[in-house]
Amino acid sequence: MRKILLGLLAVCALALTAPAQSGTVLLNAAGATFPAPIYSKWFDVYHTAHPNVQINYQAIGSGAGIRQVQAGTVDFGASDGPMTDDQLAQAKVKVLHFPTVLGAVVPTYNIPGVTASLNFTQKALAGIYLGEITKWNDPEIAKANPGVKLPSDDIVVVHRSDGSGTSYIWTDFLSKASDEWKNKVGKATSVNWPVGLGGKGNEGVSGLVKQTPDAIGYIELIYALQNNIDYGSVQNAAGKFLKADLAGVTAAAAAAAKEMPDDFRVSITNAPGAAAYPVSSFTWLLIPAKIDDAAKRDAIKAFLKWMMADGQNYNEGLSYAKLPKPVVAKEMKQIALVQ
Amino acid sequence: MDGAVPPQAGPRSFVHRLRDGDEVAHVVTLIFASLILLVTSLLVFILWEKSQLSRAQFGWSFFWTSVWDPVFSHFGALPFIYGTLVTSVVSLAIAVPLGLAAAIFLAELAPRTLSDYIAFLIDLLAAVPSVIYGLFGIFIVVPMMRTTIGPALKHTLGFLPIFKGPNYGVGFLTAGIVLSIMIVPFIISVSREVLLTVPREQREAAMGLGATRWEATWKVVVPWARTGIMGSVFLALARALGETMAVTMVIGNDPKIAASLFAPGYTIAAVIANEFTEATGDLYLSALIELGLVLFLMTFILNGLARLLILATERGGGHTS
């Protein structure tokens, strides 16, 4: 018995003191759930190309990701919403934002007897979610859909019950569409919704909408595409009704690229331009500006360069939109700031 | 044990008692018992400490504020306390009669082998994860509520304020129904065990005095076991208070107080599960943790009331098994 115990102890000691495989860089990252599929793909492909670099990503949510970056417990983080000035001030090191992919949010609905794809003006969506537009045949909705017979039923509003980047994008858009929304409700991953039922996750919202007659909800574009869920068109800043697709989302980012601030903390909802889909957004990687470990720093910088060039080719396969070229060019310059 | 201890002058020393094993058992079990206490105290301490920011900001008004606004940082627990209490009461109202009746049938009226098999199946029900109950709720109970149960209730009892208002399928009543399915196994299991321990003399004495089978059961056996049955009800209540996933899938997640059972609501456990991971901002996090503290307090108070009720019943003639 004693010999077995001694043997076990020896093995443990050896395992603990054995030096790590020289040259392997292990990076830990955590954050947003929205881009988790594309990040997993990227980290996997990158590891195959560079076997000495291993990146471990945990999709624990944007809020948790930001907290980890602030505390310095991860090498880098990811978030669907940019960090606020307060959050940046609380971080131990300066944090740089790198946009990685684009996402969009689409309105989905279930109206008995209506199979046509509906157009929604910005005022209509804001009014519905504020609880001011209560019936489907309200003039604000009807005038954008001539020829569609809308019932006089009460609208059942559905929103996200869990905190999420999708809600952030949606409320950001509504804040721009309506001053009343901006002052009364605001934009965040979780807000005090004036009306509506809450569903957990994209699947919760789409499930509730599918099951409840006269319901309207919002879901991620990717989720809608992958599950063949029909969705409506939203009016953009130029007045055109656009049904979301990857090209429209990239156009929104390109339009916003001209005014892009240097720290990339920008909202691209309601972007100018006729081809821009108004409910689009970046998702960011949060990289510390100062990394002490030289191996980790070089690995992160190399990965970022790869991500902006080859990595983008994998986006459309997973239904994420690519970053437009002007944004990529600007980001490449920011990589130099990581020291 | 007789005659094994050699005569010695004075009491045996601690070391002697240790070597004999008695003291070892005493110390080891004492350590484990105090570990439980330690973990509970640590839990309360963490809840208390991490909610400091929110308690300092809102004070007692946290209990009666109905607003939950993460953007403007106004947080109040009232809608969640209301939702937790309403869903638990509805679930008990459904589960207790059902569970007690089933337990009486299984203990008194069913043949023993059948009773054992069914009890085994009911214990399996208790082992099903709560997410599965949530899925069951979404796919079966919610449509049923919207198309069948809701309209039927409105038709017959629609004049009552608890059945007024639009019926979406999700809401307090649906959550209560799903919860009742989850807690009924606890009531049945424990009540059945307790009823089976009632001494045969009690039953036989009642029948000897001329009572029918049902009268003997309802007027003699069940009152004898009422302490244990009440214990099972409070066990079920404890589960209903803390249930998270199944509730959040069927309650509608709307932090509002409404009289109607068809209205959507929100419970403490559901809001913590939904908003905790994405909560940015220290006050927001602190408010969520304070909600956890409130739930802990509610459970504590309800368990205390349970103890008092059981004590009162014991004095009145019930028996612990």
Closest Cβ–Cβ partner in A164, A187, A196 for B254: A196
Residues in B closer than 8 angstroms to A185, CB to CB, are 71
Please state, in angstroms and rounded to a whole number, the distance separating the CA atoms of residues A329 and A42. Answer: 20
Please state, in angstroms and rounded to a whole number, the distance separating the CA atoms of residues B110 and B201. Answer: 19
- In this model, does residue B166 exceed pLDDT 70? yes
Does the beta carbon of A212 lie under 8 angstroms from any beta carbon of chain B?
A: yes
Please state, in angstroms and rounded to a whole number, the distance separating the CA atoms of residues A206 and A209. Answer: 5
Mean predicted confidence (pLDDT) in A142-169: 92
Is residue B159 exposed (0-12), middle (13-18) or buried (19+ Cβ within 10 Å)? exposed
Closest Cβ–Cβ partner in A62, A197, A212 for B278: A62
Q: What is the pLDDT of residue A266?
A: 87
**Residue partners of B144: CB distance under 8 A and separation at least 6:** none
What number of CA atoms fall less than 13 Å from residue A239's CA on the CB side? 0
pLDDT interval class at A86 (50, 70, 90):
confident
What was the ipTM of the complex prediction? Answer: 0.83
Q: Tell me: the pLDDT tens digits for B232-258?
A: 999 999 999 999 999 999 999 999 999
- In this model, does residue A24 exceed pLDDT 80? yes
Answer yes or no: do A212 and B70 touch at CB < 8 A: no
Spell out where chain B has E strands.
68-69, 74-75
- In this model, does residue A84 exceed pLDDT 90? no
SS3 B263: coil
Mean predicted confidence (pLDDT) in B173-190: 95
Residues in B closer than 8 angstroms to A162, CB to CB, are 274-275, 277-278
Answer yes or no: do A200 and B71 touch at CB < 8 A: no
Q: How far is A25 from chain B (nearest CA, A)?
A: 28
Does the beta carbon of A232 lie under 8 angstroms from any beta carbon of chain B?
A: no
Please state, in angstroms and rounded to a whole number, the distance separating the CA atoms of residues B70 and A330. Answer: 34
Please state, in angstroms and rounded to a whole number, the distance separating the CA atoms of residues B1 and B4. Answer: 5
Residue whose tokens read 């627990």: B77
Spell out the domain ranges in chain A: 24-102+280-337, 104-254
Q: How far is A293 from chain B (nearest CA, A)?
A: 28
Q: What share of chain A is helix, strand, coil (3-state, %, to 5)?
A: 40, 20, 40
Per-range mean pLDDT, top range of A299-313, B18-32, B88-102:
B88-102
Q: How far is B85 from chain A (nearest CA, A)?
A: 20
Q: Tell me how crowded residue A328 is: count the other CB atoms within 10 A of its CB.
A: 16
Mean predicted confidence (pLDDT) in A20-42: 85
Q: Tell me: the pLDDT tens digits for B190-220?
A: 999 999 999 999 999 999 999 998 899 999 9
The domains spanning A24-102+280-337 and A104-254 adopt the same CATH topology: yes
Q: What is the pLDDT of residue B316?
A: 64
Answer yes or no: do A164 and B278 touch at CB < 8 A: yes
pLDDT interval class at B23 (50, 70, 90):
confident
- In this model, does residue B321 exceed pLDDT 50? no
- In this model, does residue A317 exceed pLDDT 90? no
Separate counts of helices (H) and strands (E) for chain B: 16, 2
Does the beta carbon of A193 lie under 8 angstroms from any beta carbon of chain B?
A: yes
Q: How far is A155 from chain B (nearest CA, A)?
A: 11
Please give the residue of chain A at the shortest CA–CA distance from B245.
A200
Residues in A closer than 8 angstroms to B70, CB to CB, are 163, 188-192
- For residue A55, the surrounding DSSP H or E stretch is strand A53-58
- In this model, does residue A21 exceed pLDDT 90? no
- In this model, does residue A150 exceed pLDDT 50? yes
Q: Tell me: the pLDDT tens digits for B94-137?
A: 999 999 999 999 998 899 899 999 999 999 988 899 999 999 99
State percent of chain B over pLDDT 90. Answer: 75
- In this model, does residue A17 exceed pLDDT 80? no
Q: What class is the A104-254 domain? A: alpha beta
Does the beta carbon of A30 lie under 8 angstroms from any beta carbon of chain B?
A: no
Closest Cβ–Cβ partner in A60, A191, A212 for B70: A191
Q: What is the pLDDT of residue B9?
A: 55
- In this model, does residue A33 exceed pLDDT 50? yes
Per-range mean pLDDT, top range of A5-19, A56-70, A134-148, A324-338:
A134-148
Answer yes or no: do B169 and A187 touch at CB < 8 A: no
Please state, in angstroms and rounded to a whole number, the distance separating the CA atoms of residues B308 and B315. Answer: 11
Q: What share of chain B is helix, strand, coil (3-state, %, to 5)?
A: 75, 0, 25
Is residue B112 exposed (0-12), middle (13-18) or buried (19+ Cβ within 10 Å)? exposed
Q: What is the pLDDT of residue A29?
A: 95
Answer yes or no: do B143 and A193 touch at CB < 8 A: no
pLDDT interval class at B10 (50, 70, 90):
low
Q: What is the pLDDT of residue B17?
A: 66
C-alpha angle A195-A118-A151 in degrees, rounded to nearest 5: 65
Closest Cβ–Cβ partner in B74, B274, B279 for A63: B279
- In this model, does residue A174 exceed pLDDT 90? yes
Q: Tell me: the pLDDT tens digits for A192-240?
A: 999 999 998 888 999 999 999 999 999 999 889 889 999 999 999 999 9
- In this model, does residue B161 exceed pLDDT 50? yes
- In this model, does residue B315 exceed pLDDT 80? no
Does the beta carbon of A322 lie under 8 angstroms from any beta carbon of chain B?
A: no
Summary mean pLDDT of chain B: 90
Please state, in angstroms and rounded to a whole number, the distance separating the CA atoms of residues A88 and B280. Answer: 12
DSSP class of residue A194 equals S
A38: which 2 tokens? 């594309």
- In this model, does residue B37 exceed pLDDT 50? yes
State percent of chain A over pLDDT 90. Answer: 55
A208: which 2 tokens? 């509730």
Answer yes or no: do B71 and A156 touch at CB < 8 A: no
The answer to whether the CB of A251 falls within 8 A of the CB of A104 is no
Query: Which DSSP string corresponds to A170-181?
Result: HHHHHHHH-HHH
- In this model, does residue B5 exceed pLDDT 70? no
pLDDT interval class at A322 (50, 70, 90):
confident
Mean predicted confidence (pLDDT) in B61-84: 94
Q: What is the pLDDT of residue B305?
A: 87
Q: Tell me: the pLDDT tens digits for B256-290?
A: 999 999 999 999 999 999 998 888 778 999 999 99
Residues of B with CB under 8 A from a CB of A: 67-72, 74, 138, 142-143, 146, 166, 168-170, 248-249, 252-255, 264, 266, 270, 274-275, 277-281
Order of strands, sheet of A156-160, starting from the edge strand that comes earlier in the sequence: A53-58, A25-31, A76-79, A280-288, A95-110, A215-220, A156-160, A197-199
Answer yes or no: do B70 and A192 touch at CB < 8 A: yes
C-alpha angle B243-B248-B251 in degrees, rounded to nearest 5: 110
User: A24-102+280-337 has which CATH code?
Assistant: 3.40.190.10
Q: What is the pLDDT of residue A201?
A: 87
Q: What is the pLDDT of residue B154?
A: 92
Please state, in angstroms and rounded to a whole number, the distance separating the CA atoms of residues B253 and B187. Answer: 28
pLDDT interval class at B317 (50, 70, 90):
low
Nearest to B233 by CA among B189, B264, B296: B189
The answer to whether the CB of A71 falls within 8 A of the CB of A286 is no
Separate counts of helices (H) and strands (E) for chain A: 13, 11
Please give the residue of chain B at the shortest CA–CA distance from A188.
B71
